[in-house]
Structure 1
Amino acid sequence: MSNQKTEKQKMLAGELYLASDPELASERLFARQLTKQLNDSGPDETELRESILEKLIGKKGKNFWIEPPFYCDYGYNISAGDDVFFNFNCVVLDVTPVILGSRVLIAPNVQFYAATHPTDFRERGSLVEFGKPISIGDDVWIGGSTIICPGVTIGSRSIIGAGSVVTKDIPEDVLAAGNPCKVIRSLV
């Protein structure tokens, strides 16, 4: 029996992997089919939307909601607590876990990039990629058009100002904003 990891196992472990792997391509296709159904659904089709989210999202607490359109790579790497709300046009590149605490409010156009690429052009040219998990604490508010980069953690009760590019961890209980995102002031 071979001890060699599959491309999916490598992806989930945050190691270099080939996204063109047939298993991963099939799983991305499944997620895209579900997001298309979600994005094409009517605003009054709440039961349909809830049923699609049951199939798409890995773990979700009560009162989880996404306003379409929404896009993700796999869906099963997204984990959310209770009372999480995604507003319109959000993107989650969930090649590794994207974990959201409870009562997280996500404004329109927010993007979570857990996926990344090697910095060495030769390695990047071989078409391998990898991911770094993203973690968002409880009671976080993420302002519109924010980009959250690979490997970032945002502490509980913090607010990220609109248009921010979050490249480094943000502690608990702060207002942070900018490009790159920096702590502006304490909230306690």
Structure 2
Amino acid sequence: MTEMDKLRAGDWYYFLDAEVATQKARAARLCQEFNQISATDPQQQTAKMREILGSAGNNLSVQATFNCDNGQNIHVGNDFLSNYNLTILDIAPVTIGDHVMIGPNVDIYTVNHPLTAQGRRDYLARAQPVTIGNDVWIGGKVTINPGVTIGNNVVIASGAVVTKDVPDNRVVGGVPARELEKLVE
């Protein structure tokens, strides 16, 4: 089994593997190109973002800076809006639904490292997908951890650290994020 096979299977993989590094280098180059495009040219920004992402629906708007590990593992629906400084570590798939707004300085992670010192010395990582539903608003400085699924019609308060799944129709906040209120759809 190759390191990429292990990565895709959700197993521990060697994150300094040449194939993994090549994928990350491509993403870094494309993100750098995107981040250098003038904000006064939104059409060119959108075209470059469509080159980076695996797929995107209509009405795509992403502000610089944007950083990712792969890009091709990110799939966003219609009416996607991201404010400044979005980082998506998409070693595993990140699927984002329709009508999603993301505030500034948000981090979405699909990769984790071992709790053991030896595992970290061995440069191991494990990837778990992140899924975000429709009609979600993610406030500024939110962190979403690997393996989390966020339902539909969810609001995540600024500064929250989301470590567990969030059901539909909820407002969550805090560190770690917890339910603050139920929403009526």
The residue number in structure 2 matching 1:141 is 137
CA deviations over 1:85-134 (Å, ceiling 9, x no partner): 11100100101011101101000001001110112222222111011111
Q: Which amino acid aligns with 1:162?
A: S
Query: Aligned Cα RMSD in Å?
Result: 1.1
Deviation at 1:79, TM superposition (A): 0.9
How many residues are matched?
184
The 1-side partners of 2:57 and 2:7 are apart by 25
TM-score by length of 2: 0.95
| Residue 31 of structure 1 pairs with residue 14 of structure 2 | no
The residue number in structure 1 matching 2:51 is 55
The residue number in structure 2 matching 1:129 is 125
Unaligned runs of 5+ in 1: none
Deviation at 1:161, TM superposition (A): 0.3
Classify the secondary structure of the residue corresponding to 1:92.
strand
The 1-side partners of 2:50 and 2:77 are apart by 14
Q: What percent identity do the matched residue pairs reach?
A: 36
The 2-side partners of 1:156 and 1:135 are apart by 10
| Residue 109 of structure 1 pairs with residue 98 of structure 2 | no
Deviation at 1:13, TM superposition (A): 2.1
Deviation at 1:59, TM superposition (A): 1.3
Counterpart contact for 1:86–1:107, Cα < 8 Å: yes
The 2-side partners of 1:138 and 1:128 are apart by 33
Deviation at 1:157, TM superposition (A): 0.2
The 1-side partners of 2:59 and 2:39 are apart by 16
CA deviations over 1:130-156 (Å, ceiling 9, x no partner): 111111010000000000011111110
Counterpart contact for 2:46–2:62, Cα < 8 Å: no
Larger displacement relative to structure 2 (118-127 or 102-111)? 118-127
Deviation at 1:21, TM superposition (A): 1.3
- Partner residue of 2:76 out of 75, 80, 88: 80
Q: Which amino acid aligns with 2:147?
A: G
| Residue 97 of structure 1 pairs with residue 96 of structure 2 | no
Deviation at 1:12, TM superposition (A): 2.1
The 2-side partners of 1:90 and 1:115 are apart by 16
Q: Which amino acid aligns with 1:34?
A: L
Classify the secondary structure of the residue corresponding to 1:54.
helix
CA deviations over 1:22-79 (Å, ceiling 9, x no partner): 1221111111111111111101222322221122101111112210001111101111
TM-score by length of 1: 0.94
Counterpart contact for 1:157–1:174, Cα < 8 Å: yes
